[in-house]
Amino acid sequence: MSELGWGRHYIAVEPTHFRVDYVINPYMDPAVQPDGPTAWRQWHEMVATLRGLGATVDVLAQRSDAPDMVYAMNLGLGVVRDTGDRHVVMSHMRYPERRMESRSAQPWFAERGFTTSYVGRDGVGAHLEAGDAFAWGDALVVGYGPRTEELALKHLASDLGVRVRGMRIAHPGMYHLDLAFCPLDDRRAMVCPSALDEASAQALLALVPEPLVLTEEEALTTFCANSVVVGHTVVMPACPDRVRAQLEEWGFEVVVVDVSEFHKGGGSIRCLTNPVDVTIGRDLPAVAGGAVVLPPE
């Protein structure tokens, strides 16, 4: 087995202004606020864990008017083009409550040498949220439905020059693909089929030679798919005994980091970290002009 080539350079947003001000997913309740000092400690432990594993973590400041900006995965989709240039397709959030995040993130990326592009912005054009996109096998696998629109897949494919495989998300509690899918190496991934409609679930399972199939309960109650992988270490918010046994049998080390305060906003470790080292030509085959593959109707 070959370990993932990406997952060693992350962007994260320090939780200076993290809170629950509105409801845009089933986990959010303004009456149940995160504890600030605990969230701060949990976030810093997560970052220290990733850095201790050899990963680079660059940190953005959080806007005071953007309480969800801490979920950095959704700032944009970062890649290294086959030319060697670093690029970010900026997210176009479905909910206007989050759109100001891109207005701060885009210049931050640009100042650090990333080129940037959009599939839509300021409420005009297709919605794209980067927590729906993963490099896997021969394609960028992108969940669509609740947050990312199908039209965004075509834009991504042509902008990046890659194959995009769309998967229809059908579960309100797994509104981003990163709550139901976690690549582990070149053959294995955690997959929760309950997140998808039947055709997409079958298509995703068919892509993964050795899936670790998660139950709906495991995915929803532990956020275990919302994990990150650095080499052969899986950094997880929680790990059911069955899942741990399989991961360890496969040779992975499991490191659990409590980020439960962030579950109150509907995200966990993957949502809090954004990998920007997916490399076209290494992790994603280049496809001239791009291509989109959708599940059957």
Q: What angle do CA 272, 277, 278 make, to 5 degrees?
A: 100
User: Helix count (H) and strand count (E) of the chain?
Assistant: 8, 19
Task: List, edge to edge, every strand of the sheet that includes 188-191.
Answer: 181-183, 188-191, 210-213
Is the CB of residue 134 less than 8 Å from the CB of residue 164?
no
Phi, then psi, of 264 in degrees rounded to 5? -65, -20
Q: Which two tokens stand for residue 21?
A: 């001000």
Active site residue 224: no
Kindly name the residue from 171, 176, 192, 239 that is annotated as catalytic.
Answer: 176
Is the CB of residue 50 less than 8 Å from the CB of residue 228?
yes
Nearest alpha-carbon partner for 9 in 275, 231, 281:
275
What is the C-alpha to C-alpha distance for residues 242 and 52, in angstroms, rounded to an integer?
Answer: 26
Active site residue 271: yes
Catalytically active residues are 176, 271
